[in-house]
Amino acid sequence: MRAFPAAVALVLTGACAPRAVTGGSRMEEFVTGTAKFRVVYSGEDRDAARDVRRALERAVPRVERWGGLRFPVTVTIHATHEALEAVVDRRGYEWLHAWARFESIDLQSPRTWTDRPGARELDALATHELTHCAMYQLAGGDMTWMYKEIPRWFSEGLATFTAGQGDRYAGLEDLHRFYTAPRAADALGESAVAGTLARRGDPVVDPDPLYQNQWWIVYGAGHRATEFLVARYGERRVLELLRAMGTGLRFPAAFKRVIGITDAEFAADFRRYVIWGGWRKD
């Protein structure tokens, strides 16, 4: 495992950043427990970098339940939303504030968010993104994690579940309306009803058509599906699922081995749970 120097707060003005940062770059390296971080930012984001560091420090214990961070993570703070979109190659995602990979997190500077976040929001964001990193690091290596076929419902659901962000996204009532509305006929695998406009995509099994403009449905479905998974099988089995991928299995095979049913069967069970639930108002 690559290690950073033991210095707790090393600031290098003009240091070379792993990703482009406007306005001159600074780099700070620090250690929290067993987790090692590098934060790269421009001079105008000195205060934002301080707040992000504090959020990362508070988030580390929360992601240890999923194996912790086995490799150092570089967090790059981008001065504008456009800079973030350019780095992660996503255009028109106005709601997007961060993007995580195996050993990196790209983050739009909190000072430029439309609704500037407080400590609670930054803590949740840091926990969410570090959960992605911990998941990828346990499930694979730096050259294999992206080939594990981890579905969006699981990757985002585990992140929102760990960060306690369920109230930000679609609830079971919203998902019930999505699945039972006439326009959602093709999302259920049925033919579109004559005279209605069929909606493409399903937030669990086919989220990509919905991701950009109905992200709150996609994230909500992932969160509720993960809650359903944990309630039925327990957190220990979820951790076993991540470890099974680390042995070389891809998500579908690991899920079948650890959970005992296919991920497609689980998705169908969750969809029935949402539809048949009503969603319980009595």
Q: Grade residue 4 by pLDDT with cuts at 50, 70 and 90.
A: very low
pLDDT of residue 96: 95
Q: Supply the mean pLDDT for the chain.
A: 87
Q: How far apart are CA 208 and CA 199, in angstroms?
A: 12
Q: Grade residue 197 by pLDDT with cuts at 50, 70 and 90.
A: very low
Q: Grade residue 180 by pLDDT with cuts at 50, 70 and 90.
A: confident
% of the chain residues with pLDDT over 90: 77
pLDDT of residue 116: 82
pLDDT of residue 156: 98
pLDDT of residue 279: 59
Joined together, the tokens standing for residue 5 give 């120097």
Q: Is the pLDDT of residue 92 over 60?
A: yes
What one-character-per-residue DSSP string does 227-251 give? HHHHHHH-HHHHHHHHHHHHTT--H
Q: Report yes or no: 69 and 130 within 8 Å, Cβ to Cβ.
A: yes
% of the chain residues with pLDDT over 70: 83
Joined together, the tokens standing for residue 82 give 């456009």
Top-tier CATH class for 10-142: mainly alpha
Q: How far apart are CA 59 and CA 41, in angstroms?
A: 20
Domain ranges in the chain? 10-142, 161-277
Tens-digit pLDDT profile for residues 131-159: 999 999 999 999 999 999 999 999 999 99
Name the residue among 282, 232, 279, 280 with its Cα closest to residue 259: 232
- Mean pLDDT for 241-256 is 98
pLDDT of residue 16: 36
Q: Grade residue 209 by pLDDT with cuts at 50, 70 and 90.
A: very high
pLDDT of residue 13: 30
pLDDT of residue 25: 84
pLDDT of residue 143: 94
More confident residue, 14 or 236: 236
- Mean pLDDT for 181-197 is 45
Joined together, the tokens standing for residue 116 give 């500037």
